[in-house]
Amino acid sequence: MKSRPSLSLRLPLVLALLVTLAVGVTLEVSLHACGLRLRAQIQSALLESARMVAARAAKDPGHAAVCAEFTALADARVTIVDAHGRVTGDSDHDASDMENHADRGEIRDVLQGAPFAVRQRFSPTLRRHMLYVAVPFRDPAGVLLGACRVARPLSDVRAVESGAAAPILTGAVCVALLAILAGVIISRRITAPLTGMEAAARRMSGGDFSLRIPVDGFRECASLAASFNSLCETLGRRTEAERAHRARLEAVLASMTEGVLAVDASQRIILANRAAGGMLGFDTSSAVGHDIRATLRHPEVSRVLNTPIPPGEIIEQDLFFTHGPAARFCLLHAASFADGALLVFTDVTRLRHLMNLRKDFASSVSHELRTPVTAILGFVETLLDGALDEPENARKFLEIIHAHTLRLRALINDLLALTRIERDEESGLQNIELLPLRPVLRRALDDHRQNAGARHVSLACECPETLSAAFDANLFTQAVSNLVDNAVAYSHEGGVVTVAARETEDAVEVEVRDAGCGIPEAELDRIFERFYRVDKARSRGNGGTGLGLAIVKHVMQAHNGAVAVQSVLGKGSVFTLRLPKKRASP
């Protein structure tokens, strides 16, 4: 690179700045000194005027007239007070209307023995800032009679100071302007090559690293331009790599079902993915920068964060959240990094629920199977022990074994049906058809006419011939049949079980009504649970497996519909099956 002029030889702007600084300092000192001198002169004039008023006030008791006379001579406000601070004369106000002035600083000082007092303060009477000068006045015997005060508005004092400072200020401004003008002319010639760098720096701060600066001008500028171009290129590569890395990280975090939170050393959130916000119930966009303890308000999370985590180790903690969108069980894994900690929350609510369901289901199935198996085994052993040779008892025992076997078969069939329906519910029903509803309802009633006749219960169907709905014929028939079976089983002798259908704006509803014993209100929320019975003894006596209503619920869920119940104890129940007109996609 060829030799270039040195930029250090072209800096007369420094001279202009130094001249301007010197002029500014000189101006400040001069104005301050001038102000002090003028203020001292004004205070001296006011003090002289106050002493003249004091001399007159000591001889003339007409203080109001004295104040009026001297206010014009002194071009100031004049106030006279007695030894107790009571105003006896004032040039601007009626003395009788003025409050006691004993608490005024300048009055208090002279009444306490000071030869004079000077104060600058706000006047509550005149509602503006004033300069006060006060002196005492005494009688010929030297007894203190009161104080005389002369005051001028500070605005008048400042006006005098401004008038005196104007010529100094004008001269200083002229000198400064000349110096600045000379500096600007020289600086423009020097700084022209730097203008491009400034524009490039602005674009670089906005993320644009494509601009390059021409390498010319003074030696220093050329060297700086070359370094700047190299810096732009390096930062551009690093920024692009960082942007790609961040995009990959955000994609990974967004696709994770686990909630991820990162906090710094002060436990402020520095990163949170959408899964964490949805799982724990907070807005991830506004949570960044806030204290995690205030955001989550969970003592176990705070305890984990307050526990030192050795590098390379992971702390595991079970959590239960009750203040999010819904109560959740979460498994927390926490690890530390250089200046913070990483928290990963795994929602195990559904897993816990499924585990509990499996445990309860296994327990219920075991119990339900144990009862008939135990009975069958007991009577078989009785027969083997000799009851087989007793025809009357043998037949009775075999009938009991037969009844329990039928119940065992019904239980197994219901379990298989429930499993099949749940599978169809997950994968979606394939046999949905638009079918007339009345034949299906009549078939469900016909299946139970013999049992209803034995119990002297009447069956009725109320369904228009033209009413149709979209459903799986076999499953929906089973659901209606289960409800009719329950209605017949729990109806009183001479009762009526009615199956009615009607069309609403967005659904077809089928009701199964009975006038039987009814269901207690406290039990209504649980009757669709597997193996749940309101009256366990009567249910088993009627041959029920405890799965009928659970099957009804899952059949309707598989149809994207719903089942509801209304019941009054002692008056009967109404079960409503609701089939949507437009079947949602599975």
Per domain, the residue ranges of the chain are 1-208, 256-347, 352-411, 428-580
SS3 state of residue 528? coil
Residue 55 corresponds to which tokens in the numbers above?
Answer: 């001399």
- Specify the pairing of strand 458-462 against strand 496-503: parallel
How many angstroms separate the first and last alpha carbons of the chain? 74
Overall fold of domain 1-208: Beta-Lactamase (3.30.450)
Higher-scoring residue by pLDDT: 320, 166:
320
Q: What is the pLDDT of residue 512?
A: 92
Q: Where are the alpha helices (DSSP H) in 256-390?
A: 274-280, 284-287, 292-296, 299-306, 349-384
Residue 529 burial class via C-beta count within 10 angstroms: exposed 0-12, middle 13-18, buried 19 and up: middle
Q: Cα–Cα distance between 228 and 212 in angstroms, integer?
A: 8
Annotate 95-142 with DSSP letters as a single string: GGGSPP-TTSHHHHHHHTT-S-EEEEEEETTTTEEEEEEEEEEE-TT-
Percent of the chain's residues with pLDDT above 90? 4
Output the pTM of the full model. Answer: 0.42
Taking only the tens place, the pLDDT of each residue in 455-498 is 888 999 999 988 988 888 888 888 888 899 888 888 888 889 99
The confidence band for 585, taking pLDDT boundaries of 50, 70 and 90, is very low
More confident of the two residues 404 and 258: 258
How far is residue 494's CA from residue 489's CA, in Å, rounded to a whole number?
A: 12
CATH number (3.30.930.10, 3.30.565.10, 3.40.50.300, 1.10.1070.11) of 428-580 reads 3.30.565.10
The burial of 362, by beta-carbon neighbours within 10 Å (0-12 exposed, 13-18 middle, 19 or more buried), is given as exposed
Q: What value does the mean pLDDT take over residues 164-180?
A: 68
233 or 354: which carries more pLDDT confidence?
Answer: 233
Q: pLDDT confidence of 499, banded at 50, 70, 90?
A: very high
Token pair, residue 254, equals 């967004």
Tell me the per-residue pLDDT of 365-383, one tens digit each, with 9 for 90 and over.
666 667 677 777 777 777 7
Q: Which CATH class is domain 256-347?
A: alpha beta
pLDDT tens per residue, range 255-289: 888 888 888 888 898 888 888 887 777 888 788 88
Round to whole Å and give the CA distance between 331 and 321. 11
H or E stretch covering 88: strand 87-90
pLDDT over 60 (residue 549): yes
pLDDT of 185 strictly over 70 = no
pLDDT for the residue numbered 176: 67
Residue of 26, 30, 9, 35 lying closest to 179 (CA atoms): 26
What is the tens place of the pLDDT at every residue in 416-467? 776 776 676 666 666 788 889 999 899 888 888 888 888 888 999 999 988 9
Between CA 340 and CA 122 the distance in angstroms is 56
Residue 172 pLDDT class (50, 70, 90 cuts): low
d(CA 345, CA 343): 7
Which value, to the nearest 10 degrees, does the dihedral of the CA atoms of residues 367, 370, 371, 377 take? -170
pLDDT at residue 266, as a whole number? 86
Quote the CA–CA distance of 579 and 471 in Å, as a whole number: 8
- pLDDT mean over 531-545: 56
Q: What is the Cα–Cα distance from 411 to 437, expressed in whole angstroms?
A: 28
- Alpha carbons within 13 angstroms on the beta-carbon side of residue 75 total 4
Residue 162: which pLDDT band, with cuts at 50, 70 and 90? low
In the predicted structure, residue 387 carries a pLDDT above the cut 80 = no
**In the numeric block, which tokens belong to residue 310?**
């050795």
What's the mean pLDDT when you consider all of the chain?
A: 78
pLDDT at residue 575 tops 70: yes
Of 5-14, 41-50, 540-549, 561-570, which range is least confident? 5-14
Which residues does 19 contact at the CB level (< 8 Å), separation at least 6? 175, 176, 179
Which residues are CB-neighbours of 216 under 8 A, at least 6 positions away?
193, 222, 225
Q: Which CATH architecture has domain 352-411?
A: Orthogonal Bundle (1.10)
Q: What is the pLDDT of residue 1?
A: 46
256-347 against 428-580: fold identical: no
The yes-or-no verdict on residue 7 having pLDDT over 50 is no
User: What is the β-pairing status of strands 507-514 and 468-471?
Assistant: unpaired
The rounded distance, in Å, linking the Cα atoms of 414 and 538 is: 19
Average pLDDT over residues 409-415: 69
